Amino acid sequence: MNLGDPRFIIRPYKDEDWDDLCKINDLSRPIELEGSCDPRAFIPLEKDDEGKADILESKKLVAEIGESVVGFVAIDKNVVCWLYVLPNCSGQGIGKQLLLSALSLIEGKAITYVLSGNERALSLYRKVGFYGTEVIDSNCSGFPCKYTALWRNA
C-alpha cells in the first residue's frame, strides 16, 4: 500500500498496534489543540471513551519505520476522522502518505473536519485536493472550538 516512499511503509492496523496509536495520539493531540481550543480539552486516548469507541470502529492504517509505528489514519465510510504522526517524525511526508493511502480506500467524496486553528493540518488536506471553508461551532471535551469542514471529490 505504500505509495513509493522507501523510508516507511503504510500497512493495515493490527490489534497489537493499539498502544502505539494511544502514544501517537497522546503526543500529537496537545499540539493539534494549540491555537484551536483550550489545552484542558486534551484527554489521553485510553481514557477517552467516545474517541476510543470511534477509532476502534474505524478502518485504520499505520505508518511504520522499521518495527516502530510512527503514525496512523482512521476512516469511517467516507470520513477521514483521525490522522496523527509522532511529532518527532512530522514533516517527512508520513501524514501525506497515510492520507493518500486512506483516500484510495474511499469511494466518492471524502470529508474531514479540522480544528480551524490547525493551519498545518488544513494545509496538508488542501495540498491533496480538499477544499471548503465552512466553519462549524463545536466543542472538544466540553471546551468551545471551531472546526473547518473540508471535502474532496473522487
pLDDT in tens, 7-33: 899 999 999 999 999 999 999 999 999
- Number of domains, the chain: 1
Is 1 part of a structural domain of the chain? no
Query: Which pLDDT band, with edges at 50, 70 and 90, does 154 fall under?
Result: confident
- 35 grid coordinates: 491555537
Whether this model's pTM surpasses 0.75: yes
Is 3 part of a structural domain of the chain? no
Looking at residue 126, which CATH number applies to its domain? 3.40.630.30
Q: What is the domain extent for residue 52?
A: 9-152
Is 95 part of a structural domain of the chain? yes
CA gap 86, 70 in Å, rounded: 5
pLDDT in tens, 37-79: 999 999 999 999 999 999 999 999 999 999 999 999 999 999 9
